[in-house]
């Protein structure tokens, strides 16, 4: 059984919340981290509810509603999300209040909204959806885990339409902590010149991207998702190559059939080595693309690249801003997405045109 992407919604550091647009205007940042361009939330969320919602909850609900409207689905049969660190802003508020008030008179709202499953729960409450609801918190493969669960539900005919998404946010404090761990560049840089800085560290980002997945074929679908695979801490390039070979074999597709490969290159000279090795030694004479200079690095950035791949297949257009090499334009039927988070969690996603 094939799984199809029926609707999409994306809140990111780029102008992506309008599905009629596709990276026509690129936002450039010279900050240490990228923040989402936020829409007018009152379109989907009542002002009285907005006051009690943190940014990531608002972004998640809005992205989910965009995708549902795009797919013309009112109530999904399941809601499944992935998040690496959950609602950090509310977690910080609760912890700061514990310190400030000496663990007395603690406000309940930040605590309630600090749990990782708050996003999917709030979406369900807003939609009055009482169906299957699950959240995966598996760091760099949180979104992929949500995808795999969604695909299993659809293949087992447990559901016909599944709302699946990935969301993570960046705060000032979480940025400072991860910067001390060496995750980010030492100075503010232009995101559009990310690869020009051949140094350690990447650029931090955030986003909320949701999809409506279905088992019904339609001319309105964006793409067909054939396979998703994850693997953990490969010891060398050979193991990475073996995983890709096995993945393509199981998907019954040859390397020559892949028209575009999108890598999770993030500008960190240590962790980008595997991508350049594959470009030079494994994939030859292929079209390559990248995406993290647009959204930044975060645990569920693979949800952004799935949005990118789905839009490319639907429009048959590859924006120049994501091209890693510029070969002759040709029809795009199959796209392979390969991403890893700090060489710990690796994932492969294969999508095709409908």
Distance (Å, whole) CA 305 – CA 295: 9
Under the banding of pLDDT at 50, 70 and 90, the label for residue 52 is: confident
Model pLDDT, residue 260: 97
DSSP state letter for 157: T
Under the banding of pLDDT at 50, 70 and 90, the label for residue 330 is: confident
- pLDDT tens digits for range 269-320: 999 999 999 999 999 889 999 999 999 999 999 999 999 999 999 999 999 9
- pLDDT tens digits for range 73-120: 999 999 999 999 988 888 877 777 777 777 777 777 767 777 889 999
What's the rounded mean pLDDT across residues 187-198? 94
For residues 321, 327, 328, 331, the Cα torsion angle rounded to the nearest 10 degrees is -70
* Signed CA dihedral, 116, 119, 125, 127: sign only: negative
What's the rounded mean pLDDT across residues 184-204? 95
Model pLDDT, residue 1: 67
- Superfamily (CATH) of domain 3-214: Thiolase/Chalcone synthase (3.40.47.10)
pLDDT higher than 80, residue 326: no
Residues of the chain with CATH 3.40.47.10: 3-214, 223-352
pLDDT higher than 90, residue 191: yes
Alpha-carbon distances of 299 from 63, 320, 347, rounded to whole Å: 17, 25, 12
pLDDT higher than 70, residue 130: yes
Count CB-CB contacts under 10 A for residue 254.
Answer: 10
The CATH code for residues 223-352 is 3.40.47.10
pLDDT higher than 70, residue 30: yes
Average pLDDT score over the chain: 94
Report phi then psi at 303, rounded to 5.
-70, -35
Model pLDDT, residue 328: 67
Under the banding of pLDDT at 50, 70 and 90, the label for residue 343 is: very high
- pLDDT tens digits for range 136-186: 999 999 999 999 999 999 999 999 999 999 999 999 999 999 999 999 999
């Amino acid at each position: 059984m094939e799984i199809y992407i029926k609707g999409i919604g994306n809140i990111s550091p780029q102008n992506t919340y309008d599905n009629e647009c596709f990276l026509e205007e690129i936002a450039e940042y010279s900050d240490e981290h990228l923040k989402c361009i936020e829409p007018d939330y009152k379109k989907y969320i009542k002002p009285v509810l907005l006051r009690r919602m943190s940014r990531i909850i608002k972004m998640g609900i809005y992205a989910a509603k965009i995708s549902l409207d795009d797919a013309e689905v009112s109530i999904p049969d399941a809601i499944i999300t992935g998040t690496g660190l959950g609602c950090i802003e509310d977690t910080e508020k609760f912890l700061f209040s514990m310190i400030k008030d000496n663990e007395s008179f603690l406000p309940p709202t930040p605590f309630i909204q600090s749990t990782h499953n708050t996003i999917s729960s709030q979406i369900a409450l807003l939609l009055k959806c009482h169906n299957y609801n699950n959240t995966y918190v598996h760091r760099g493969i949180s979104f992929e885990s949500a995808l795999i669960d969604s695909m299993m539900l659809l293949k087992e005919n447990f559901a016909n339409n599944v709302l699946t998404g990935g969301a993570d946010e960046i705060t000032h404090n979480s940025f400072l902590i991860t910067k001390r761990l060496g995750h980010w560049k030492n100075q503010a840089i232009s995101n559009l010149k990310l690869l020009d800085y051949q140094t350690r560290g990447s650029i931090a980002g955030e986003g909320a991207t949701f999809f409506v997945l279905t088992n019904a074929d339609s001319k309105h679908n964006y793409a067909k998702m054939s396979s998703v695979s994850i693997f953990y801490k490969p010891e060398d390039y050979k193991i990475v190559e073996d995983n890709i070979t096995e993945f393509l074999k199981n998907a019954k597709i040859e390397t020559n059939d892949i028209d575009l490969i999108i890598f999770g290159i993030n500008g960190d000279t240590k962790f980008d080595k595997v991508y350049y090795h594959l470009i030079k030694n494994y994939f030859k004479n292929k079209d390559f693309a990248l995406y993290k200079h647009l959204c930044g690095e975060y645990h569920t950035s693979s949800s952004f690249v799935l949005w990118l791949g789905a839009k490319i297949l639907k429009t048959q257009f590859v924006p120049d801003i994501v091209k890693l090499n510029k070969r002759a334009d040709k029809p795009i039927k199959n796209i392979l997405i390969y991403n890893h988070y700090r060489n710990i969690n690796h994932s492969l996603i294969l999508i095709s045109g409908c």
